[in-house]
Amino acid sequence: MIRFIPIANPARGRVAWVTLGALVFALLVAGLIFLAAGTNPFEAYSAMLQGTVADWSGWSEVLRRATPLLLIGVGLSLAFRAQFFNIGAEGQLLLGAIAAGGIALFTPLPPLVMLPTMFVGGALAGGLWALIAAFLKTRLRVNEILTTLMLNYVATYLLIYLINGPWKGKNVRGFIYTDDFPGFAQLPTLPGTQVGWPTLLLGVLLAVALQWFLGRSTGGYELRVAGENPEAARYAGISVSSVLFRMALITGGAAGLAGVGEVAGIHHKLLEPAQISSGYGFTAVIVAWLARGNPALCLITAPLMGIILAGGDVLKINLNLPFRITDVFSGVILMCLIGSEVFVRNRVKWGR
């Protein structure tokens, strides 16, 4: 007979080992999926590693994928810590891209202030988009999972309307996208890559700053208390609503910054939503979950997921595996992580 004995405060070592075990189990399950697809799992994993971490071109693709995941993941890690389950980072990323595109295309700003203004505008747009869900949660008790998820579709179709209507490029025929951004509204990249180094640097700085905020500031203390026990927070005079509003602005703002980085650093125009984001808003949920509410750990988990995303492209090209194999991979990892929570918070005991 199996019994689960609750653990009041799981040790960090236990959390780390259970998480590692969940990842190993996910790799085993994914290996069975590769076998079902007619591919040797060892060959698949070898191809993934050789195509991503064996040379600079592979690493550059990993960094390109990891940059938006890092920005979104650090915001989500704090939001989840505060019990604000934001599943709308995809839409917040698109709002950041829209704001950046509007500023770059239609605002006659001096070149020196164009890019900073685009980043500020993108962060505000993403933060305000997330604030809608926070307002509905605190004032009307509407579940934020549903509202943030539904707002993704609103953002998607807003972008499609703009690039197919009033913002459509003047010389575009048969496709929908805007005119190119002016040169001074485009981010510099690492030589020979599509990695916008200012966005990458911003993600690293944000991870360090939010880790300091969580562990050393009054606001971080309020966040931890409100997330662990809202009733105790209210008794201590902490406004849970204010905490949620701040977390919505931070998590949405970080996703908005990722949107600015994608359009200003890679595409240099507004495109269809699927071309701007390859599901980064959803994949970053795994980045944040692996980080266990610690923004600094996203510096490790974001590149890890970047390897999986870039490696998925290698599998599609080199081994002719199905196009959605990366989505299956990510889904298996997320399900294993969610399932492992029972072993984090409970001790398994055999016998009567």
Q: What is the pLDDT of residues 205-259, one digit of tens each?
A: 999 999 999 988 999 899 989 888 888 888 888 898 999 999 999 999 999 999 9
Q: Is residue 351 very low, low, confident or very high in pLDDT (cuts 50, 70, 90)?
A: low
What local confidence, expressed as pLDDT, does residue 352 receive?
Answer: 65
Q: Which long-range contacts (CB under 8 A, 24 or more apart) does 150-157 make?
A: 151/88, 151/91, 152/87, 152/88, 152/90, 152/91, 152/281, 153/91, 154/91, 155/90, 155/91, 155/92, 155/94, 155/95, 155/98, 155/129, 155/273, 156/90, 156/91, 156/94, 156/273
Taking residue 215's Cβ as centre, other Cβ atoms within 10 Å add up to 13
Counted residue by residue, the chain has a size of 352
Stretch 180-186: mean pLDDT: 94
pLDDT of residue 152 exceeding 80, the answer is yes
Distance separating alpha carbons of residues 182 and 190, to the nearest angstrom: 19
Stretch 313-339: mean pLDDT: 81
**CB-based contacts of 247, cutoff 8 Å, min separation 6:** 78, 79, 82, 84, 134, 223
pLDDT of residue 5 exceeding 90, the answer is no
Higher pLDDT, 143 or 58: 143
Distance separating alpha carbons of residues 41 and 36, to the nearest angstrom: 10
Q: Is residue 166 very low, low, confident or very high in pLDDT (cuts 50, 70, 90)?
A: very high
The pLDDT mean for the chain works out to 90
> Which letter does DSSP use for residue 143 in this model?
-
Question: Cβ-count burial of 239 within 10 angstroms (0-12 exposed, 13-18 middle, 19+ buried)?
Answer: middle
Question: Cβ-count burial of 312 within 10 angstroms (0-12 exposed, 13-18 middle, 19+ buried)?
Answer: buried
What local confidence, expressed as pLDDT, does residue 314 receive?
Answer: 84
